[in-house]
Amino acid sequence: MSEHDLLLESADAHFNGERFFNPPCYRPDEHLSPKTAPERARNIFRWQMGLRPRWPDALPPTAMYPLPSPKPGECVTTFINHATVLLQFGRKERQPLRIITDPIFSERCSPFRNMGPKRVREPGLPLNALPPIDIILVSHCHYDHLDLPTLRHLAGRDDPLCISFPGNRRHLEKAGLPRIVELDWWESLNVDGACITATPALHGSARTPFDSNRALWGSFMIEADDHRVFFAGDTAWGKHFDVIRQRCGVPDLALIPIGAYAPRDLMRRVHMCPEEAVKTFEALGTNNAIGIHFNTFQLTDEGILEPAGRLKIAMHHHAGRFEVLDNGESRTLPPPRTSR
């Protein structure tokens, strides 16, 4: 059996009956002894109690960008903030299909109103200015990705379908979302002319100290109107990107996290640095990528401008385009020359 076949076969094992876990076959550092949960918790506590560099309390507001409306066959991608991206797929004689990823518009990513990481940059589009949303994708249940106040607003306004992973329904139901679908890795859902496939990520989950890894995390491949867009969610670097490309094909556009990576000894198992994000870009085989998961909430120790600068250096000799957008800035994929 080939290495590829072994990866596909063993990747299906990511649940032990009580908790989800990252398959060792996806980890490039699988030869290292994984830290136990108590060890990791102690290390994180010591890190958080130490002296840490601080970002500015707030950055000046950026330019206001117009929100393009896609023409038939186009895909308009708008970076809003953090891992929140609006995807608009233009359709003939119909309203665009609008999908939003991990929407967060709250002032803090925290269970507390007055404590926890506070945003330093405003969303590129106000919540009440969002066009009607058809589908919400939620990659996992961490507070900077599953934001209940934002989800409640969208649930009450738009009647959207929410797609996430097993174990997240109990959190999402608190937002009053009318329709929730949980997909395990490699499962697909055809809805409204689009195909959404749940794909792996290397991460973890928790919303309290007592529910670690009780819900699954992941990424998504979105296929709509002959475009293929990959949303990586929140993930470490790993071999799963090769398998995603082999199973789902090369995306026309990839949304890849580039921030929350320092200190590396603590973060390397859950978050990518910019150089690893470029390796992801290469593994997926795409020619277009947009950086996400940076420059909004200070979650880790790298400087606020560091991810974008390191990404630019890492991409210096690449012919493809892997760029950082301002909050509210958009890019348009033209209609494909031929249908898939």
How would DSSP label each residue in 132-153?
A: PPSEEE----STTTS-HHHHHH
Sheet containing 179-182, strands listed edge to edge, beginning at the edge strand earlier in sequence:
179-182, 161-164, 135-137, 94-101, 84-91, 75-81, 330-333
Tokens representing 195 are 């195909």
**pLDDT value of position 1:** 41
pLDDT in tens, 186-225: 999 999 999 999 999 999 999 999 999 999 999 999 999 9
**pLDDT value of position 53:** 83
Rounded Cα distance, 40 and 141, in Å: 19
**pLDDT value of position 232:** 98
Q: What is the pTM of this model?
A: 0.93
**pLDDT value of position 298:** 95
Please say whether the dihedral angle defined by the alpha carbons of residues 298, 302, 306 and 308, taken in this order, is positive or negative.
Answer: negative
What is the number of helices (H) and of strands (E) in the chain? 8, 14
**pLDDT value of position 4:** 53
**pLDDT value of position 167:** 97
**pLDDT value of position 43:** 63
What stretches in the chain show pLDDT beneath 50? 1, 6, 9
Rounded Cα distance, 192 and 55, in Å: 42
Cβ neighbours of 142 (radius 10 Å): 21
**pLDDT value of position 65:** 94
**pLDDT value of position 199:** 98
pLDDT in tens, 218-229: 999 999 999 999
Cβ neighbours of 24 (radius 10 Å): 12
